[in-house]
Amino acid sequence: MTSTAGETGGTRSQKDDASRLKRLARAAGVLYLAIFVVYPLSTMVRSTLVVPGDAAATAQNIAESETLFRWGMAGEVTIFLIEIVLAAVLYALLRPVSRALSLGASLARVAEGVVMAAGNVFTSILTLVAVGGAGYLAVFSAEQQDALALFFQEANDYVVLTWGFFFALSLLLTGWLVYRSGFFPKIPGVLLMLAGIGYFAQSYGTFVAPGLTDVLETVVLVLAIPGELVFALWLLIKGVDEEKWQASALEADRTRL
Amino acid sequence: MRALRNIAFGVLIVAVLIVGFVAQAGSYLFGFTSQAAEPQSADTELAPFADAGDHPVGVRTLGADIAPIPLTVWYPALEPPIRDSSLTYAYAINMLSADSTTAIATYEGDAEPGAAYDLDDGPFPLVVLSHGFAITASSYGWLAEHLASHGMVVVAPHHHESLDPGGLWQSTFDRPQEVQMVLSFVEEEAGPGVEFEGLIDSETIAVVGHSYGGYTALAAGGARLDTGAFNAACDAAYATDDPLVFLCDALAPRLVDIAGAAGIGSVPAGLWPSWSAREVDAVVSMAGDAAMFGEPGLEEITVPVLAIGGTADTDSPFQWGTELTYDHVSSDRKIEVALNGAAHLVFAGDCTSVRRILSLVSLGFCSDPAWDRTEAHILVKNYVTAFLLAELTDDQAATTALSSGLHQRSDVGYRAEGY
């Protein structure tokens, strides 16, 4: 009887673990898809309002469409909050492969979120202050206030490249972990690593060779979307191979790595 | 039940993916291409007035707190700019509202924002530059800078309008009044001890405009609306499905509103009252609308006129704009320049950096069926500058050049009288 009860308890425990694992994978997929939708919407808002090089038009657009601009900021805030949760979820999912690399990937993702918050959101706040017309800004001429708004928005572009380094590192490590996992297929891993290479190319390339900005932006678009999207859909629809994940987890516990 | 849930789940994912892809594509396509490393250059050897003049150029914007309506002013400056390409202009359209611009493209300019006025060589003739319907004044910075470098002060009012044909009737009345307000403002500010003292000769005036700005310039030059002529033109346009029907649809049903705004009891059967209280010395209409004036209305113009347009223009058809203007103004001196095969927006801004979507879909903003934009702008600069120098400063070289057609080309039609 005892033996039977133990077996039943073990089966239930394994079922619970499998269910938790499935929920975790699904949560990661949902978070990834949320980023896939929200981030481009936020950047599209910026693209429509900011006129590169034209401070007056930029400041006027932002002042006249302040609500839209604030929604864009809200989107960015949403992204970095999602990134932090996603970092934790992916850490839990990929820990059996390598605790150290999984931690590295998650830390890089958290760093990306922090830079995004400290950079993109902050520069947008400063932009709003610049176009806000507060009385003390009267020490600047109208042209100078407009220039400030554009200055912060152009700085924003470089902040994107800065968090791009951390994001690229996170993708490379995540891709490697997925590739080596055995409980995910190898293809999403390869695609994620390619996405990481794309982001590295964009961030390094734009700093080193600004003339290639257009090409690099296209490269990252082509390389990044397939990797992240395939991985997100796999997490959402197929999840992880639970038996192999359990085996990896046991092995990791045994070796403490 | 489980099958239904799976279907709902699948539909949800597909919907999210569609939204995501659209957003990704939008984010990318609405972005701008980077500036071309080297600006396009073209040979100006045969277009002597297309070379920049001797004056450094400054630019200032006067808000509605200073001027009756916001103005951008390009002027001869005291010192050369600190560096080349000192600012970027947006070629933009007020697409969604009158207060929010959507940039189509950007291009570099050489004017120095806020530079000191050149009062040593002034006062300079005044050129009022009226932009196209819902197009921003900065879209014409390339031309304004050029004219300022040749010793003119270019004042561009920001007409308050959005890209809604339903607002065209209001602009039909507002624009001529706004030009008059600008002329009065400049005259006041050109007096002793005020903003433009010593900079602007407010007695020497030209009005230049593109598209509905061309209409505005013609109205400032003395043209008067004529209901009978406009209705006859519209009848002909409807019969042949001529592109003029766009203007007819927008204006004909609203003539009564224009009359109301103008304080006229009813719509005149023929000529309307003049809306040009102040006399101007010259008018330039670039792809300007003129059908609402008709022959009788255009005959009211007696000042020198340069009408320049593209023969493939379907927004302000050449026949109903440029050609009609040249054929019927009463001016002793007049010129018609036809850019063969050019469309309407070739006169608007340069397109050094454009939104990517325009690289994929040709909407006519930065592309032209027949003309390279840089080359067209060189010709426009050449003719407009020569004409204004001849008329505003009695420049003999310009007058001589105009009499010879400024080196005619096979792809440019040229007619002139009085030169």
Token reading at B316: 């302000």
Of B16-25, B61-70, B146-155, B278-287, which gets the smallest average pLDDT?
A: B16-25
Between residues B39 and B287, which one has the greater pLDDT?
Answer: B287
- Cα gap B7→B1, rounded to integer Å: 10
pLDDT at A11: 63
Is the minimum CB–CB distance between A78 and chain B shorter than 8 Å?
no
In Å, how far is A108's CA from the nearest CA of chain B?
23
Contact B88 A37 (CB under 8 A): no
For residue B235, pLDDT beyond 70: yes
pLDDT tens for each residue of B320-364: 999 999 999 999 999 999 999 999 999 998 888 888 888 777 778
pLDDT at B391: 96
pLDDT tens for each residue of B376-408: 999 999 999 999 999 999 999 999 988 877 767
pLDDT at A256: 66
Q: How far is CA A201 from the centre of its chain?
A: 17
Q: How many CB atoms lie within 10 A of CB B86?
A: 18
Closest CB to B102: pick one of A48, A56, A214: A48
Report helix, strand or coil for B74: strand
Q: Residue B33: closest CA among chain A residues belongs to which residue?
A: A214
Token reading at B232: 């006859």
User: The pTM is what?
Assistant: 0.83
pLDDT at B37: 47
B347 closest CA partner among B204, B209, B237: B209
Is the minimum CB–CB distance between B39 and chain A shorter than 8 Å?
no
Chain A neighbors of B103, CB-CB under 8 A: 51, 54, 57
Query: What ipTM was predicted for this assembly?
Result: 0.72
Q: What is the mean predicted confidence (pLDDT) over B25-49? A: 68
Of A31-45, A193-207, B23-37, B173-187, which gets the smallest average pLDDT?
A: B23-37
For residue B67, pLDDT beyond 60: yes
* Residue that is written with structure tokens 């000192």 in the block: B86
Confidence of residue B39 (pLDDT cuts 50, 70, 90): very low
Contact A56 B138 (CB under 8 A): yes
pLDDT at A87: 96
Q: Which residues in chain A land under pLDDT 70?
A: 1-14, 256-257
Confidence of residue B85 (pLDDT cuts 50, 70, 90): low
For residue B81, pLDDT beyond 50: yes
Is the minimum CB–CB distance between B113 and chain A shorter than 8 Å?
yes
